Chains A and B, each alone.
Chain A
Amino acid sequence: MMKRFLSAACFTALVAATPAWAHFQMMYTPQSALTAGGAMEMKVVFTHPFDAGHTMDMEPVDEFYVIQKRGEEGEAKKVDLKTYLKEITWDSKGSKGKAFEAKLPASVVRSMGDYVFVLVPTPYYEKEDEEYIQQFTKMIVNVGGVPGNWHEPVGLPAEIVPLDKPYANWTGGVFRGVVLSAGEPVPFAELEIEYLNHEPDMKKNAFSPKGKIEAPHPAFEAMGIRANAQGEFTIGLPKAGWWGIAALGVGPVDTYKDKALAQEAVLWVQVTDMK
């Protein structure tokens, strides 16, 4: 009995010390600031981006679309992209999981302006926690440099609205945003920030086994911060590449199929070196 207690205690301690439980819904494309429109490829993976940890099997996607707008006076156009999703297997240092890719033709991303890509996954059941997780995810691309709707809420149940362009950030700068739940700011929202540390290989559908940096301490892998009283947050951007921001459990719906549901908001931000 004592032995079982000790091994259970050891397991609990191990779980508590493991920082890799920050799930991130990834929407990845190599470049978000495009000089011209054209065909574009995207990978949709539910994983742990800092350490290329366990990749979860994704369920079929509820919604996948883009809202495009050129200029402040332009008309926002919504295009359903679900038809382009194709199931793939993503390799995360040997941990393989069901994911998706989307090969978008030039006709989708042709005009100048902002493209707000939105993914609404089916809630994922996390057996260990006996709860569902649903991460409403946004990734914003710009073509040509004429801005559009990068700062406009899409109207998701849980959403991070950028206060800075997610595709135009220099290394060493800061990024700001607001956490919304059903359109209202979430005071002191809990956020996690992760660096996409293992370069995605678009051909192999895999993370590079070697990370770009090493964290000196678990708290540097999934960095936990809080929004302020207005639901706003600011993060520093110390390294070029992609950064994922997740607002945890902020959505208004908390049950799904008689189990607890965490509705979360994810936004991806790309950082570029000054050269």
Chain B
Amino acid sequence: MWKVLLLAIIALASSSAFGHTAIMSCFDNGDGTITCEGGFSDGSSASGITFRIAQNGKSVMESKFDEHSEVTFPKPYGRFSAILDGGSGHLIEVRGENIVQ
């Protein structure tokens, strides 16, 4: 009984960040780079969460959000998508053409 309860508590604790909506916003810094900010609707940090750049359906760059929940990268040529991949269905995609200064 106690083992079951303990497992349930661990499961609840580890899923606390996933009861909320993942959010990402990107902007063009005007110097050839783009910054994407990640976060959750409850104010949780996106630090350490996977960030990817996809072109033609393939991942061309993979990184992690830093301690400020940000990733800055050189603006890719051509069409691309910036992706926050938080797992468990927390996938946010921002298309390059929607990223402005």
CB-based contact B27/A145 at 8 Å: no
For A72, the closest partner residue in chain B by CB is B43
Q: Is the CB of A71 within 8 A of B44?
A: yes
CB distance from A146 to the nearest CB of B (A): 4
Shortest CB-to-CB span from A105 to chain B, Å, is: 11
Interface contact B39-A146, CB-CB below 8 Å? yes
| A219 adjacent to chain B (CB < 8 Å) | no
Decide if B39 touches A70 in the complex (CB within 8 Å): yes
Let me know if B66 is at the binding interface, CB within 8 A: no
A146 touches B23 (CB 8 A): yes
**Does A146 lie within 8 Å of B27, measured CB to CB?**
no
Q: How far is the CB of A152 from chain B (nearest CB, A)?
A: 12
A112 and B23 in contact (CB under 8 A), knowing A70-B37, A70-B69? Answer: yes
A95-138 vs B, CB cutoff 8 Å, 1 = contact: the mask equals: 00000000000100011110000000000000000000000000
Residues of B within 8 A of A37 (CB): 25, 27
A202 near B: Cβ within 8 Å? Answer: no
The residues of B that contact A144 with a CB separation of less than 8 Å are 23, 25, 37, 39
Q: A177 at interface (Cβ–Cβ under 8 A)?
A: no
Q: A71 and B25: CB pair below 8 A? A: no
Q: Taking the nearest CB of chain A, how far is it from the CB of B25, in angstroms?
A: 5
Interface presence of B40 (CB below 8 A)? yes
Tell which of B25, B41, B68 touches A143, judged by Cβ atoms closer than 8 Å.
B25
**Would B101 and A106 count as touching, CB distance under 8 A?**
yes
In whole angstroms, what is the CA distance A143 to B21 when docked? 15
Q: A148: CB under 8 A from chain B?
A: yes
Task: Kindly state the separation between the CA atoms of A71 and B42 in the bound complex, as whole angstroms.
Answer: 8
**Contact between A110 and B27, CB atoms less than 8 A apart:** yes
Inter-chain contact B101/A146, CB cutoff 8 Å? no
Q: With A70-B37, A106-B101, A112-B37 as given contacts, are A147 and B23 in contact (CB-CB < 8 Å)?
A: no
In the complex, the answer to whether A145 meets B43 with C-beta atoms within 8 Å is no
Q: Cβ of A9 < 8 Å from any Cβ of B?
A: no
Does A62 sit within 8 A of B, measured CB to CB?
A: no
Q: How far is the CB of B64 from chain A (nearest CB, A)?
A: 16
- B41 touches which of A36, A75, A106, A146 (Cβ 8 Å): A146
In Å, the complex CA distance between A147 and B20 comes to: 12
* Nearest 7 A/B pairs, CB to CB: A146-B39, A72-B43, A147-B43, A144-B25, A112-B25, A71-B43, A73-B45
B residues adjacent to A (C-beta < 8 A): 21, 23, 25, 27, 37, 39-45, 47, 68-69, 101
10 additional A-B pairs beyond A74-B69, A145-B23, beta carbons within 8 Å, are: A37-B27, A70-B37, A72-B44, A73-B45, A74-B68, A112-B37, A145-B21, A146-B39, A147-B42, A147-B43
A sample of 21 cross-chain residue pairs with beta-carbon separation below 8 angstroms, ordered by A number, consists of: A37-B27, A70-B39, A71-B39, A71-B44, A71-B45, A71-B69, A72-B45, A73-B47, A74-B45, A74-B68, A74-B69, A75-B68, A106-B101, A111-B25, A112-B23, A144-B23, A144-B39, A146-B23, A147-B41, A147-B43, A148-B43
